[in-house]
Homo-oligomer: A and B are copies of this chain.
Amino acid sequence: MGGDHGPPVVVPASLQALKKCPALHLILVGDNDVLQEQLRNQSYDASRLTIQHASQRVEMDESPSQALRSKKDSSMRVAINLVKEGVAEACISAGNTGALMATARFVLKTLPGIDRPAIISTFPTLSGKNMRMLDLGANVDSSPEHLFQFAVMGSVLASAVDNIKEPKVCLLNIGHEDIKGNELVKATAQLLNQTKAVCYAGYIEGDQLYQGDADVIVCDGFVGNVALKASEGIAIFIRNLLKEGYTRNLFTKFAALVSMPILKSLVKRMDPDRYNGACLIGLTGIVIKSHGGAKISAFAHAIEEAIVQVEKNIPQRISTEVEQLLKLSRDPS
């Protein structure tokens, strides 16, 4: 029921995903009447699509604590409960990020050894390789131990999903030299330098985020969120300037016409739809956050992201890795 568009996007995206993935079963959680209405006159395999009624919905501007307290029958809460009960293997939501994080953390709990879940997402890079970055805004005022845990989780995800043997993990900083950075980054670097659990490759600066040198980039949620949104901001700036330029007069419109294949390939390469579906990592279950403004194909992509995480058994893998680490730190021999 969440996101900017709600069921008119989520339902068609679900039908699209069901067609594409024959093994997929989906439970639509939300207002029964609204969902039935969306499904009317649609053809789909009813044995793989059920509706679970929920009488409430979390508003996009509702505070997480408010949602947690007073929306116990919201579509979000019911969906996460289904994961907790083992009825569903993953939950996908385009709703209020803060409420989703708070509810998921409250209901599912974090994995043993993980203090805080983080938001991780995938980005395109110049090299063509994917880059994963965390935390993108779930946690502010993180400690070095939190960032260390993020590094381990990001490394496990990149290794499992992208089949990278030893994912290169970098710390986001404002310089490469040891003396550069704030206290958080310097203390985290010390922890990462001492571990064999991740392949730590040192500091990376903001202008190298999209070069493809790192498989996983770790930072505090405040910093990650700013970096991500500043990137969006400048991309929108450039898009608007191009649009302005190409629509100025007849000649520029002709230039736009002949440039169309190039501009289309640019948009495709950076297409946020293809990268939709951030993961709330570090929980005992799988929760995927779609962009609130996602359209049908983007939301379908978030569903596919959930399928991959289920198939790869991500929470279990993180749990095993962290358990191994905790064992090592208890018994360093």
Partner-B contacts on A (CB < 8 A): 61, 63, 124-126, 137, 140-141, 172, 174, 177, 179, 181-183, 185, 205-211, 219, 221-223, 225-238, 240-242, 245-246, 248, 251-252, 254-255, 258-259, 261-263, 265-266, 269-270
10 additional A-B pairs beyond A140-B182, A207-B229, A207-B230, beta carbons within 8 Å, are: A125-B237, A140-B183, A172-B226, A210-B233, A230-B230, A231-B233, A241-B266, A242-B262, A245-B262, A246-B262
User: Which residue in B126, B182, B209 is a CB contact (below 8 Å) of A230?
Assistant: B209
B206 touches A229 (CB 8 A): yes
> With a CB–CB cut-off of 8 A, which chain B residues contact A209?
230, 233-234
B contact residues around A235 at 8 Å (CB): 234, 238
Return the contact of A241 from the options B225, B232, B269 (Cβ within 8 A): B269
Q: Which of B207, B230, B255 contacts A236 (CB 8 A)?
A: B207
Q: When chains A and B are docked, how far (Å) is the Cα of A235 from the Cα of B211? A: 12
Oligomer: number of copies: 2
The answer to whether B222 and A206 have CB atoms under 8 Å apart is: no
Q: Inside 8 A of A269's CB, which chain B residues have their CB?
A: 241
A222 in complex: contacting residue of B182, B225, B228, B237, CB < 8 Å: B182
Give the one of A61, A185, A233, A265 with max B CB within 10 A.
A233
**Which residue of B174, B177, B225 contacts A221 across the interface (Cβ within 8 Å)?**
B174
Q: Pick the most buried of A63, A125, A240, A241: most chain B CB atoms within 10 A of its CB.
A: A241
| Contacts A141-B183, A242-B266, A266-B241 given; does A211 touch B233 at CB 8 Å | yes
* CB pair A227 B206 closer than 8 Å: yes
Bound state CA distance, A251 and B63, in angstroms? Answer: 53
Q: Identify 15 residue pairs between A and B in the complex whose beta-carbon atoms are under 8 Å apart, listed by A's number.
A: A140-B174, A140-B182, A206-B225, A206-B231, A206-B233, A209-B230, A209-B233, A210-B233, A226-B230, A234-B234, A241-B266, A241-B270, A242-B262, A245-B262, A255-B255
